[in-house]
Structure 1
């Protein structure tokens, strides 16, 4: 089930502070202005290291008003235990055909971008979200996190409620929705509990987002001593950098509101060890104001890749990506550090997660195209014949069907033999292949487009303003400019102005966006969003019709082996567990 678009709701205003007036020098975000995403998860169990998410429900709120909702099932790629299915009503059939976490997690991260996260017993939900992000190598870390369980314990004593479970609290505050162990219902109930707790706690002087996040803690002496660094930071979208005495960059981040975000580093809400260790060495904070959040995200990537700041979770080195390359002629399949032009008959897929994936995919493609007995290609260095080379190239660039048919046949035979772990390993290899080919397909297409200027509706920066347009210019997959215009502005004129700038980016374009693929993927995410319209273009931006490098293609092949219709709830390919075993 796809994410549900924004749904307006009747306002339920968060009360403003009664006991003190906020001034420009106060640290923190007033609660009436804070955007929060209240999230709830359903999972296959309680351990983020071994269990998986089956459903995500989230509600975005600001000032007591609902701004939007997000809901989707997630295929956990493992059986759902019977007691979990009984509790939630989510069964294996429910999640059959649902997107996997590799698709859902980036969507949720975008939905929650720039917002505080709220959950009831937040440690549970944040643990699963962090584990999901790490599993797909998504560079995601929640900012301010509020736990309604902790807030409710502060707001309501045992003389008022018998316990602080979500159901008890929802009934006590008169929530409009009763929690029922389904993600969106529980998230909606949590919203009402949150607002009731805020109303109670605001009377005790807790009037900012950071007040609530640090209700159980106090800012450290270093944070209090260094908070003056935020004084000159503007309230605008952009990139911020913590800099030491020698001008070295210690940490880089981005925000839709630089001043509000930077201030949180000097409150009790900031608990990340790498950030707290960096603060004593910081002597200034420099900022780059950007036209749009997309521009800020790209600039952040470029700065991290260039400066390699130690306090960021890991430095980005896109130039060290690993690819699976089929050379021209009879060179065969091998790992490569540089993506090259493919006009000579070569082909590449990737970037891959590691060198281990090179051997995995080389074996899978060789077995599928040349046959299991063709191991000589891998061991002797002899390349494939002209016919086999053409088939390998087609499987990497155009049509995954031969590889998926081969994999589905192998899984079917292994399942018949009861070798479920081996069947799951085959499935994992196929998913790695599809992801690598899909990634290369998207990068290849955007790299070949000399210029693309697109527009999409942009939310107004001020509530009283009418929505306008956000424009983005891309040259060969590289960021070339961004701007915003009002609803009455001329998108074509703005697009032409963007096209005349940043022409130097064309000189840095590389095949498959080598050396800047993370940047290209940010831009692709923007271009593939809802409401995007192409305004100007040079060349073409297109992908092959047959090249379905996605999980749905694998599901169809597996369903065909079982003689089922993939649209009728057919079972997912094996996940490494005996489907007939007791939970």
Structure 2
């Protein structure tokens, strides 16, 4: 008989359930504690399109005694498992049987917990497969009028299963297959036709909201940005997706537990989509739209572009100040004023800069009001200043660190941590160590961002996973153009076309040349992905090596030390 071609309806976007392979399984165990109790039997049935395509069943030697009450419940005796294979022989065979499928079990957390514990004990990687729990699905589909209990025996009787559960693994798995098929028929009646919709199914979504899934039918199945709009055409929410149509539909049939988002969906009148060449372009467009519209239901839009910087004041005896507007020679950006203030305090302490806000006369004479009033509170050597020339080297060390030309200040701070530890002042040493680690990370991040923002034009390519390339034209830390060359397409003509049509970017002031810190961060993460290549650049992309560049190993040791301290 020739194969019949079936055209998918809009309700079946994603992976249709009739094309999904399920492995319905059950375990019998010596008790209820995964990791402590053992598995005595595994039974599984592989189904697709309502048809059984494979079975797996075996007793397992649990390596321990089976309690009498378990023998009474399952009928599996010690004699039955004495010659059975051990779990280290059975587990790889079961994992292979279940590869590429959706796992299904009745009370899945119990069975999955035992399998995870077994994988961890035997050194096998636990595959990140989708899991469907028929107990959970039944509770969402059925009510008390249908059945007072969601036990497997009750559901098997309700749906007239061909195999009744017997507390033996294969029989229980076969009963669960019939229960699964009956439940899928129920959810299909409310519009759940794909695997994605099944995994995201929630009864809390009202029928009115579910009917709104038609608002996604005009969207393409491509990467992009989507905008939910309200009754007055206002932007309620902005998001990104690798598949616009599929992602937006999930808001109407999906497991969205956030109350604010459910409220947003109820208000939405339409959804607009903006197609993008690839995920990077979608991320950047999302940031720009969040900044432009400040949608009510996006948490990230509440304080867009709100960053802080640390800079030296312009006075005879400079101190470090936290400011909102960056200028050349500033350190940042910082997400919060508190983080910027902590960095300023760490730098001031390491360099012994003054922290008092009083103005000091240019002569810095002993006995000046600032020296007498601030010495004890500030801790800086105010009383010892004789001239600005004596203070200048302290300022120079800070400037050199921010500029990336010298990291001597960080080494001095690290030496102080070692001195405190040698003196067995461990708590203070740990506190100073953590402050220094935060400072090193901030300096490294600032240098990375400033280095990218300084480049007039950088063109990079990333493999698309299918033999083609995704391109980004970056100018002064902004995405000026994006495109793709699919497999079989000559890449360089695409690059030249993207450069010719790229946005003109004029550099601004400050370390980031006026660029958005959030956008630069997104671009840096993309550029540092494995496989990304630089096609060409107007100047070498280089970051300072003499400041925070060589501190990676030290930061790793700090992370390990903190982990040990937390564990203890």
Distance change (3 Å), C-alpha of 1:218 and 1:387: closer
Asked if 1:260 is matched to 2:246, the reply is: yes
Give 1:114-263 correspondences, 5 Å limit: 152-153=105-106, 164-166=110-112, 168-169=114-115, 178-180=118-120, 185=124, 187-188=126-127, 191=129, 200=177, 203-204=181-182, 205=184, 208-214=194-200, 217=203, 219-263=205-249
**Once the 2 structures are TM-superposed, how far is the Cα of residue 427 of structure 1 from its aligned partner?**
2.3
Offset from partner CA, 1:543-577 (integer Å, 9 cap, x none)? 1232334752535998xxxxxxxxxxxx9456795
**Once the 2 structures are TM-superposed, how far is the Cα of residue 225 of structure 1 from its aligned partner?**
3.5
User: SS of 1:529's equivalent?
Assistant: coil
**Conserved? CA contact 1:170–1:193, under 8 Å:** no
Q: Which residue does the alignment assign to 1:485?
A: 485
Match of 2:321 among 334, 353, 358: 334
Asked if 1:281 is matched to 2:267, the reply is: yes
Q: Distance in 2 between the 1:405 and 1:354 partners? A: 26
Offset from partner CA, 1:294-351 (integer Å, 9 cap, x none)? 11110000001111111112316453210111356754311121222x3xxxx22221
Distance change (3 Å), C-alpha of 1:268 and 1:522: closer
Q: Distance in 2 between the 1:512 and 1:267 partners? A: 43
Q: Which residue does the alignment assign to 2:534?
A: 534
Q: Distance in 2 between the 1:578 and 1:275 partners? A: 35
**Conserved? CA contact 2:225–2:273, under 8 Å:** yes
**Conserved? CA contact 1:166–1:179, under 8 Å:** no
User: SS of 1:456's equivalent?
Assistant: strand
Q: Distance in 2 between the 1:554 and 1:191 partners? A: 37
Give 1:251-330 correspondences, 5 Å limit: 251-315=237-301, 317-327=303-313, 330=316
**Conserved? CA contact 2:398–2:409, under 8 Å:** no
Q: Distance in 2 between the 1:556 and 1:298 partners? A: 30
Distance change (3 Å), C-alpha of 1:328 and 1:498: farther
**Conserved? CA contact 1:301–1:519, under 8 Å:** yes
Distance change (3 Å), C-alpha of 1:469 and 1:307: same
Q: Distance in 2 between the 1:396 and 1:377 partners? A: 18
User: SS of 2:221's equivalent?
Assistant: coil
User: SS of 2:489's equivalent?
Assistant: coil
**Conserved? CA contact 1:237–1:258, under 8 Å:** yes
Q: Distance in 2 between the 1:192 and 1:271 partners? A: 19
Q: Which residue does the alignment assign to 1:4?
A: none
Q: Distance in 2 between the 1:419 and 1:235 partners? A: 60
Q: Which residue does the alignment assign to 1:505?
A: 505
Q: Distance in 1 between the 2:237 and 2:566 partners? A: 47
Q: Distance in 2 between the 1:272 and 1:239 partners? A: 20
User: SS of 1:319's equivalent?
Assistant: coil
Asked if 1:26 is matched to 2:11, the reply is: yes
Q: Distance in 2 between the 1:508 and 1:379 partners? A: 30
**Once the 2 structures are TM-superposed, how far is the Cα of residue 537 of structure 1 from its aligned partner?**
2.1
Match of 1:440 among 446, 462, 465: 446
Q: Distance in 1 between the 2:114 and 2:358 partners? A: 68
User: SS of 1:191's equivalent?
Assistant: coil
**Conserved? CA contact 1:447–1:476, under 8 Å:** yes
Which structure has the bigger radius of gyration? 2
Two-structure CA RMSD over aligned residues (Å): 3.9
* Structure 1: unaligned runs, 5 residues or longer: 1-19, 35-62, 64-146, 157-162, 172-177, 461-466, 559-570
Offset from partner CA, 1:437-462 (integer Å, 9 cap, x none)? 112111111111111111122123xx
User: SS of 1:250's equivalent?
Assistant: strand
Q: Which residue does the alignment assign to 2:464?
A: 458
Count of aligned positions = 408
**Conserved? CA contact 1:434–1:550, under 8 Å:** no
**Conserved? CA contact 2:202–2:253, under 8 Å:** no
**Once the 2 structures are TM-superposed, how far is the Cα of residue 361 of structure 1 from its aligned partner?**
2.0
**Conserved? CA contact 2:402–2:443, under 8 Å:** yes
**249-258 vs 507-516, which moves further:** 507-516
Q: Which residue does the alignment assign to 2:394?
A: 388
TM norm structure 1 = 0.61
**Conserved? CA contact 1:475–1:509, under 8 Å:** no
Distance change (3 Å), C-alpha of 1:251 and 1:377: closer
**Once the 2 structures are TM-superposed, how far is the Cα of residue 391 of structure 1 from its aligned partner?**
1.1
Distance change (3 Å), C-alpha of 1:444 and 1:281: same
TM norm structure 2 = 0.63
**Once the 2 structures are TM-superposed, how far is the Cα of residue 418 of structure 1 from its aligned partner?**
5.4
Q: Distance in 1 between the 2:440 and 2:13 partners? A: 45
Q: Distance in 1 between the 2:564 and 2:431 partners? A: 8
Q: Distance in 1 between the 2:430 and 2:393 partners? A: 31
User: SS of 1:180's equivalent?
Assistant: helix
**Once the 2 structures are TM-superposed, how far is the Cα of residue 252 of structure 1 from its aligned partner?**
0.4
